[in-house]
Amino acid sequence: MSELIRRDSRTLFEQAWAHGVGSGIISPEQRDSIIQEGTKAIRKIASILGSENLRADLERAMLSMLGLVNLHLQKVSRGDVRVASRMLAEYGLLHHTRGASQSIKRILALREGCDPQRLDTEQKRRFEEEVVSSWARYSFDEFQAQEAEANQAHARRTAAAALSTALGPGGPDDYHEPEQVIMTALLIIGYHRKKAWLRSQQEFEKLLEAIRKSPARLSRLPKDLPAGHEEVITSVWSEHAEQLAALILDEGTPLHVLAAGDPSINRLHDLLVLPEDALGEVDDHESQTTAHWKKLTRGTSDEAKLLTIMLQGVLGLTEKTPWSLKTAIRLLETDLLTRPPSHLIRNWLHANAPHQNQSDLHELWNDFWDEREDGLHDDTSADDYRSFCTNWFPMRAPRSS
């Protein structure tokens, strides 16, 4: 930036206008033409801000236009007043308002991950409003900071896409942050034999186990990164590797909780792309869960068996299933007489169940206790007990007479 600008508190546009008119760089004819252009630009901007018939909107539009012109002059002249004066004389005002608007829309598009040349009608309208209402008030330093941030976001999305492609189909959805995609892909490349996106929570659990067995490899990046993206990938790794290592290598957190724990307790959700497997069809259940949950449930998705496992885990029941009617009634009149505090089942689910299953399991738990409280009383008949137990517990078949 020149000495002249450093000693002058006026905007670059104000200085360039005064210098151009005073030195003759901007002729009287050009001056009149520029003023007419400015009037048109002000009315157009006022129509975006509100109405070109209201004085307040026209005043806001004038300030917006001057702000946009100043931003573009700063960008193309690099702060040189004489260059800025010549560009005003040669191109007028509309060229600079359009130039600033295009640059800002590109930043907004890059920030949101969309193509600046393929904006839909709603995006165009929203971006135009942001250009004239917010961005026109930015200083050039603020503009440059926003541009640098948008370029970085674009570079990271591009690097994430390159890594995702390298691992083949089945990559993460677009709503994941590029940093999450990059860090997950790097762990897979470094530790997973197949070098492909993980298909289940059990695969993710095994990946975490491999990391715990070879923690030293977390100190270096994998080789053969996608060409042209090494610098961006290295930057992301440097930002997140230490925090990621601390979480994964913490022996106090079971692997199955890291693999499928609820986001409220499992911070890996913020750093990585975790397999989003739900408790689906019985045929899929075995491959769509953690090894811990598979062992605990023996791979079942039967509601009666799952309820019994929860009752055993929360209340410490030791009676083996299937239960006899006599055992079930005894439990209903003792251990299962009163609903336990809600935090006990919540804590048990957090410690054992994949987070995608926890809501359904908690609902199953509450449904059982609701029906137990509403349907069984001191005067309950044997038939009512038998019906309730048959609906809710794994029961032995009655002896044939």
Q: 294-304 pLDDT, tens per residue?
A: 999 998 889 99
Single out the residue in 138, 170, 199 at which a domain terminates. 138
Q: Which two three-digit tokens encode residue 227?
A: 């060409």
Q: How confident is the prediction for the chain on average, in pLDDT?
A: 88
Tell me if 178 is assigned to some domain: yes
Tell me if 39 is assigned to some domain: yes
What total number of domains does the chain contain? 3
| Distance from C-alpha of 160 to C-alpha of 138, rounded to nearest angstrom | 31
Give 218's DSSP letter. Answer: G
Tell me if 145 is assigned to some domain: no
Same domain, 10 and 131: yes
Same domain, 216 and 336: no
Q: What integer pLDDT is reported at residue 400 of this predicted model?
A: 54
Determine contact, residues 110/116, Cβ cutoff 8 Å. yes
Worst-scoring range by mean pLDDT, 146-150, 151-155, 183-187, 263-267?
263-267
Same domain, 196 and 125: no
| Distance from C-alpha of 250 to C-alpha of 253, rounded to nearest angstrom | 6
Please give the backbone phi and psi of residue 229, each rounded to the nearest 5 degrees, phi first. -120, 5
pLDDT in tens, 36-50: 888 888 888 888 887
Largest CA distance in the chain: 117
pLDDT in tens, 294-336: 999 998 889 999 999 999 999 999 999 999 999 999 999 999 9
Worst-scoring range by mean pLDDT, 1-5, 26-30, 155-159, 160-164?
1-5
Same domain, 226 and 325: no
| Distance from C-alpha of 105 to C-alpha of 125, rounded to nearest angstrom | 11
Mean pLDDT of 19-44: 88
| Distance from C-alpha of 326 to C-alpha of 332, rounded to nearest angstrom | 10
Tell me if 200 is assigned to some domain: yes
Same domain, 195 and 90: no
Same domain, 133 and 82: yes
Same domain, 7 and 133: yes
Q: Which two three-digit tokens encode residue 278?
A: 């739900």
Please give the backbone phi and psi of residue 7, each rounded to the nearest 5 degrees, phi first. -100, 5
Q: What integer pLDDT is reported at residue 50 of this predicted model?
A: 77
Sign of CA dihedral 89, 94, 95, 96: positive
Same domain, 238 and 174: yes
Q: What integer pLDDT is reported at residue 333 of this predicted model?
A: 92
- CA nearest neighbour of 48 among 103, 122, 130: 130
Cα radius of gyration (the chain): 33
Same domain, 47 and 133: yes
Tell me if 277 is assigned to some domain: no
| Distance from C-alpha of 65 to C-alpha of 198, rounded to nearest angstrom | 52
Please give the backbone phi and psi of residue 395, each rounded to the nearest 5 degrees, phi first. -115, 150
Q: What integer pLDDT is reported at residue 399 of this predicted model?
A: 62
Same domain, 126 and 187: no
- Domain that includes residue 98, residue range: 3-138
> Is the bond into 322 cis (omega within 30 degrees of 0)?
yes
Please give the backbone phi and psi of residue 323, each rounded to the nearest 5 degrees, phi first. -90, 150
Tell me if 287 is assigned to some domain: no
Single out the residue in 138, 169, 187 at which a domain terminates. 138
**Helix/strand/coil for 210:** helix
| Distance from C-alpha of 79 to C-alpha of 99, rounded to nearest angstrom | 16
Q: Per residue in 85-116, is it b (16+ CB within 10 Å) or e — as a string?
A: bbbbbebbbbbbbebbbebbbbbbbbbeeeee
Determine contact, residues 165/96, Cβ cutoff 8 Å. no
Q: Which two three-digit tokens encode residue 258?
A: 């890291």
Same domain, 33 and 112: yes
| Distance from C-alpha of 304 to C-alpha of 395, rounded to nearest angstrom | 9
For the chain, helix, strand, coil in percent to 5 are: 65, 0, 30
Tell me if 149 is assigned to some domain: no
Tell me if 65 is assigned to some domain: yes
Single out the residue in 236, 271, 306 at which a domain terminates. 271
CA dihedral 145, 147, 148, 152 (to 10 degrees): 140
Is 50 exceeded by the pLDDT of residue 241?
A: yes
Same domain, 216 and 182: yes
- CA nearest neighbour of 131 among 43, 53, 59, 71: 71
Is 50 exceeded by the pLDDT of residue 279?
A: no
| Distance from C-alpha of 48 to C-alpha of 92, rounded to nearest angstrom | 21
